[in-house]
Structures are given as C-alpha cells and as structure tokens.
Structure 1
Amino acid sequence: MKIDILTIFPEYFDGPLRSALLGKAVEKGLLEVRVTNIRDFTPDGKVDDRPFGGGAGMILKAEPVYRAAKSVMTAGSELIMLCPTGERFTQDTAESLAVKEHIVLINGRYEGIDERAAELLAVRKISIGDFVLSGGEAASMVIIEAVTRLVPGFMGNPESLSDESFIDGCVEYPQYTRPAEFMGMKVPEVLLSGDHGKIEEYRKNKKRKVKA
C-alpha cells in the first residue's frame, strides 16, 4: 500500500511514521508513505488567505492544495480530505480503505480548505468525530493506524485481528495478565481454568454490542 500525506506541517509525521509497527511495515516494504509540503506548491510559501464574506481565521487556498494533490495522484488514487463535514470514520471505513493500493490524505488547517479544491479533486471527505482539532494531521494518523494494521503481513499474529473490538459489531472482552491477584482484585477463575471451551464462552458473553 502507498499513502501520500499532504500537509503544511510535514514535521508532524516524523516520529509516528518511524515508530512501532508502522515503522517496521515501512522497513519491510509493506507500506510506502510520502509526506508532501503543500507550501512547496506556492511561489512564496503563502498557502492561506482571508475568507470571502468575512469571518474569523484564514482559509487554505485552493491552488496549492490542488497542485499538491495532482503531483501525487494516479488513476487509482483514493483522495481523502479530513474535515468535520465528512462521513464518520468507522471500522467499516478502515476495512474499505485497506484494499486500496494508493490513498492520498489531504490535511486542512486554520478554518479549512477552499471548497473549490475539494470539488475539482472529487475528494472523499472523512471526519473522525464530532470535536474540533487544530488540523487534519492527527486525524490522518488515526486513519493510517486503523487502515494499515489490516494490510496482510502488518500484524505479527493475524489472529489478533479476528478478536478485536468492532470486527463483529462488538467491543472486545476485558483482558487480564499476571499477577493473578492485584490489590485484592482477582482474575476471573474461568481464565485460569485451562478449559478453552469455557474461556471462549466467557469471552463471548463479555463482549458488548457497539452503541448505534
């Protein structure tokens, strides 16, 4: 899978993309990630201006965003713009993106991106929730984390995916590890029994349906 990130703060991604499983996936060639600075597509580095009609804040200009996207797009690219008006990101969304060969993540800042860029590029708008962030970069990392772990070979143990929260519309059962007793609180006896049938039934009963 190839992922292109368009942002005016490329340094935001320096650490996360080199860490943990993401970093290992890049090293193994399972994942290729490129970060493009939208400022590079302006003559003077200026990417924002005041909104027509007045109002607080600044708006990212359409031209540098459009040009940056065009520089990385291919025929099969999935263009995603992170914004609060987009569809809600869910596990189903992650699964649909995990089969794509190329994803382009367009990150807004300030009061958003000139709408003409979204229309000209025919982007898919996605929101990770009903709250305000300073920009799309954090949302992009959420999407990258959720999507790439579904790519074959990314997880060390493929069985980990089948037991995770949201896979079957449920939240995963409670988990415990050693010691068997901590501050007077004991691990449920069934988990210490060695009876795999009873353990599976216990875990099944402890799963909770995701709220609609």
Structure 2
Amino acid sequence: MTTRPWHATVLTLYPEMFPGPLGLSLSGEALARGIWALEARQIREHGLGRHRAVDDTPAGGGAGMVLRCDVLGAAIDSVAADTRPRLLMSPRGRPLTQARVRALSEGAGAVIVCGRFEGVDERVIEGRGLEEVSIGDYVLSGGEIAALVLLDACVRLLPGVMGKVASGVEESFESGRLEYPHYTRPREWESRTIPDILLGGNHAAIAEWRSQNALRITRERRPDLLAGDRVATAFGAGGRFPEDTRDQNDA
C-alpha cells in the first residue's frame, strides 16, 4: 500500500510566495521526492463581483479592512474534506510549540489559512473550526511568512527528510530545554578552544556536560521553560531560582 505524502494546503492572497524557501535545501529535496506535498490556493478566486472583492470595512468602524466570512468560507469549503486540522496564522493564536509541531508532523498534513488586512471575520473562525496559531508576540503583514515557518518546522521532522533521526530529537525544546553548545574544527580559534571534555572520548561524561550546559543556558535565557522542574531548581544558586524569576513563572 502506498503511503500518501504529508499534504499542506495553503489558502492565501499571495500563492506566488510558496514554496519560496521551502523549495530549497532539505524541504525542497523532500518536496521533489514526494515526501510532502504543497498546494497554494488563491482566496481571491472566491471573491465577489467583477473585481473579486475579498474584504470589507469593519463592523462598528475603525481602521483597516476585514476578510469577509462568505469569501473565506467558500475558499475553505473548496478544499476536499479530510482529517487535516484547519489552522489560521494569527498573532492572537496559541503560541506554536515544538510539541504542537511534532503532533502536526505525525498527522496527514494541514490546511493553513493566511490572513491579511486588519483581520478575519470571527464568524468564519467559529464556523469552520479554525485553530489560531501564533509564531510570536509581534505582528506581520500577513500570515504567509508565519505559514512558511510552521511548514518548515513540520517538514523537517517527516521521516526521510533529515539524515539522522537524532537530528530532530537532540535540539532545543524537544526535552523542554534549550540546546547545548556545539563545536567543530579548528580546535582553537581566536584563542578560544573546544572544551577538553568533548575531545576525550568519554561518552558518559560528554552526555553529562551537554545536559548540564543545556540546563544552564535554559535557566539563563528561558527560565519559563523550567517552571516546576526540580532538577533545574536544584541547579540554581541556593537551590532555587532568583525571586524575580519565580514571580515571572508564578504569574
């Protein structure tokens, strides 16, 4: 039995933005080999009137324009019904996490809606069960770049895309921590040397060094990832995080 490729359908006003960078490097090679499939559909095909209008002024007044629910609903309905989740790239969505990316990569694919203008009519979000997803606490001109980010994160985890399975496991966020430091040749560069422990061949000691440094970097840069982590708490000075960090995590 032939396994269907991981399938992404993107609904956008700018289909020419795809595959973009996803057509290069590992994701591009995987696309050419049929490990995953991508189709970018023009929302404006379902626009209204001679000019294929897709937006209108916001109810209640205000700046900007809003994508119409009837137009976007028709665009979503044009995609064959299947089990893929329907995602809307939105700054007000739940933050995209590595756990969510891995779950998506293990499914059949995704239908991704790229918003534009001031936003999307709330009724189509409710009526079509769109899951709002954010890639960070900032606003972009549209959902296309965010969709590229999400797709890249998913595609790289598909079987056969990366050379080594461990490449997708031993990295930031997979274990709830940031990744440990990496080094390669030359052994010395601008008076900076590779830590001796990494060159000694003691794999247990190397694993311990990597674990401790991953914990150190996470504590310094993203203490929010370590909330409730007993090992991380013991690692901190005095057996606990500084008070300002605890206040942030407990907020």
Normalised by the shorter chain, which TM-score bucket?
over 0.9
Matched positions, count? 212
Alignment correspondent of 2:38: 33
**Structure 1 residue 172 corresponds to structure 2 residue 184:** no
With normalisation by structure 1, the TM-score equals: 0.94
Is the CA contact 2:101–2:153 (under 8 Å) kept in the aligned structure 1? yes
Cα offsets for 1:121-162 (capped at 9, x unmatched) = 111111111111111111111111111222222211111122
> One-letter code of the match for 1:68?
A
**Distance (whole Å) between structure 2 residues aligned to residue 164 and residue 80 of structure 1:** 25
Bigger-Rg structure (1/2): 2
Alignment correspondent of 1:81: 88
Tell which deviates more after alignment, 41-50 or 3-12.
41-50
Identity %: 39
- What are structure 2's unaligned runs of at least 5 residues? 1-5, 225-251
Higher relative CO (CA 8 A, sep ≥ 6), structure 1 or 2? 1
Match of 2:16 among 6, 11, 14: 11
Alignment of 1:97-116 (within 5 A): 97-116=104-123
- What are structure 1's unaligned runs of at least 5 residues? none
With normalisation by structure 2, the TM-score equals: 0.80
**Structure 1 residue 122 corresponds to structure 2 residue 129:** yes
**Distance (whole Å) between structure 2 residues aligned to residue 117 and residue 71 of structure 1:** 14
Match of 1:211 among 213, 218, 223: 223
Pairwise CA distance, 1:15? 2.1
Pairwise CA distance, 1:38? 0.5
Runs of 4+ in 1 over 4 A off after TM superposition: none
Could you say which structure has the higher helix fraction?
2
Is the CA contact 2:19–2:38 (under 8 Å) kept in the aligned structure 1? no
Match of 2:72 among 61, 65, 70: 65
Aligned alpha-carbon RMSD (Å): 1.4
Pairwise CA distance, 1:41? 1.2
Give 3-state SS (helix, strand or coil) of 1:207's partner.
helix
**Distance (whole Å) between structure 2 residues aligned to residue 132 and residue 35 of structure 1:** 22
> One-letter code of the match for 2:44?
R
Pairwise CA distance, 1:113? 0.9
Is the CA contact 1:73–1:104 (under 8 Å) kept in the aligned structure 2? no
Match of 2:27 among 22, 34, 50: 22
